[in-house]
Amino acid sequence: MKKVRFGVLGTAKIATKVGQAIKDAASAELLAIGSRNLEAAKAWGTQHGAPQAFGSYQEVLVDENIDAVYIPLPPSLHCEWTVKAAEAGKHVLCEKPTALNSTEVATMLTACKANGVQFMDGTMWSHHPRTAEMKVVLNSGKLGRLRRVTSAFTVNIADTPGQIRFNPDLGGGAIYDLGWYCVRAALWAFDDVPQRVYATGEFHRGVDINAAVMMWFSKQRTAAFDCGFDMGLRKWFEVAGEEGNLVCDDFLAPTNIDAPRFWTHDENGNSVTHLSAGVVQQTEMVQRFCEIACAGTLKERWFSESLDTQRVVDALMKSLQLKREVEVENA
């Protein structure tokens, strides 16, 4: 079986989980780690089983044995290193948010397409089998015409030294970091992009530490969510139709990895519990990415989902600053 050989750019905390997923995926191989600090790269490689360690990101890109890179760098660096990776002929799996704005994302995607490499962002829940099962329910008509998506993602994070989520220059803020998932959930449920949005929230050190959002779609459909660094963990959504609803209380990642679940309710409130396969969604994401890379045909879905999500995030950030409704710009 052909394997996609990965290099990782950076030793961020999230790289630990995805690095393990690269090792666990049937079609992937963890080959190298690159860091601006060679000693940090060596330490990470020893701990996580990467046989090669480099003292720069560029050294990873010029290694002809590497087929793809995983980029867990701060969002402010995603555009630069995605473009460089694409120009080096490497497929790109990049953490979310994809970049600082949709102009950067468009530049990244153009570079990947021009060089024939796949791009995918790290929205992991999209790849869990449960997500596909929920989508079957939404498309089945059992809930009637879909009208509203409501979601929340909050986690209590302290403002400590080095915490990039509170650094506006690096792409910090609740909407970028957490709201991204809620935006993607609405786009996924409706297979559409909202026409206009509104966001309000509180700021600390130049970043939004929480936000409440409203999004208006065509065909009398709406979505609302809240996100923030100032509350305990909440990671749920509800998709409501005229004849029922679907609820998932841990859509970002199953609380019980061995028994992922969601519920449907009919118009009278009668509920059915649905159980899905217990898998590691990071591994599922890496495996899907590798299958695309090995097939040699780029999958447009993963390009367009990243750009569409970023376009909505851009509009939300603009609304947050202007304190009014904002139209979502066309791609």
Backbone angles phi, psi at 180, to 5 degrees: -50, -45
Does residue 276 share a domain with residue 129? Answer: yes
Collapsed DSSP state (helix, strand, coil) of residue 171: coil
Residue at 289 is within a domain: no
Does residue 79 share a domain with residue 145? Answer: no
Instruction: Give mean pLDDT, residues 168-192.
Output: 97
Q: How far apart are CA 280 and CA 292, in angstroms?
A: 19
Does residue 141 share a domain with residue 9? Answer: no
**Cα distances (angstroms) measured from residue 262 to each of 102, 177, 267:** 33, 24, 17
pLDDT bracket for residue 1 (50, 70, 90) = low
Decide if pLDDT at 309 tops 70: yes
Find out whether 182 and 227 touch, Cβ atoms under 8 Å: yes
Exposure string for 296-321, b = 16+ CB within 10 A, e = fewer: eebbeebbebbbbbbbbbbbbbbbbe
Task: Name the average pLDDT for the chain.
Answer: 97
Provide the pLDDT for residue 64: 97
Provide the pLDDT for residue 62: 98
Residue at 317 is within a domain: yes
The CATH number of the domain holding residue 27 is 3.40.50.720
pLDDT tens by residue, 278-299: 999 999 999 999 999 999 999 9
Does residue 109 share a domain with residue 18? Answer: yes
Decide if pLDDT at 248 tops 70: yes
Collapsed DSSP state (helix, strand, coil) of residue 170: helix
Backbone angles phi, psi at 26, to 5 degrees: -65, -30
Residue at 132 is within a domain: yes
pLDDT tens by residue, 77-116: 999 999 999 999 999 999 999 999 999 999 999 999 999 9
Residue at 253 is within a domain: yes
pLDDT tens by residue, 21-68: 999 999 999 999 999 999 999 999 999 999 999 999 999 999 999 999
Listed residues 122, 140, 165: the one ending a domain:
122
Residue at 287 is within a domain: no
Does residue 211 share a domain with residue 163? Answer: yes
R_g over Cα of the chain: 20
Provide the pLDDT for residue 331: 73
Decide if pLDDT at 72 tops 90: yes
Find out whether 311 and 24 touch, Cβ atoms under 8 Å: no
Q: How far apart are CA 275 and CA 300, in angstroms?
A: 30
**Cα distances (angstroms) measured from residue 136 to each of 239, 246, 262, 270:** 13, 11, 13, 19
Residue at 294 is within a domain: no
Does residue 183 share a domain with residue 46? Answer: no
Does residue 277 share a domain with residue 139? Answer: yes
Does residue 130 share a domain with residue 86? Answer: no
Structural domain including 85 reads 4-122
Strands (E), 43-159: 52-54, 68-71, 91-94, 119-121, 146-154
Listed residues 92, 122, 152: the one ending a domain:
122
Does residue 135 share a domain with residue 9? Answer: no
Q: To the nearest whole percent, how much of the chain has pLDDT over 70?
A: 100
Structurally, how many domains does the chain consist of?
A: 2
Residue at 61 is within a domain: yes
Instruction: Give mean pLDDT, residues 293-320.
Output: 98
pLDDT tens by residue, 210-235: 999 999 999 999 999 999 999 999 99
Listed residues 89, 104, 122: the one ending a domain:
122
Q: How far apart are CA 328 and CA 14, in angstroms?
A: 30
Does residue 323 share a domain with residue 201? Answer: yes
Tokens of 325: 């409704």
Residue at 305 is within a domain: no
Provide the pLDDT for residue 34: 98
Q: How far apart are CA 271 and CA 244, in angstroms?
A: 10
User: If you search the block for the tokens 């519990």, which residue do you land on?
Assistant: 273
Decide if pLDDT at 129 tops 90: yes
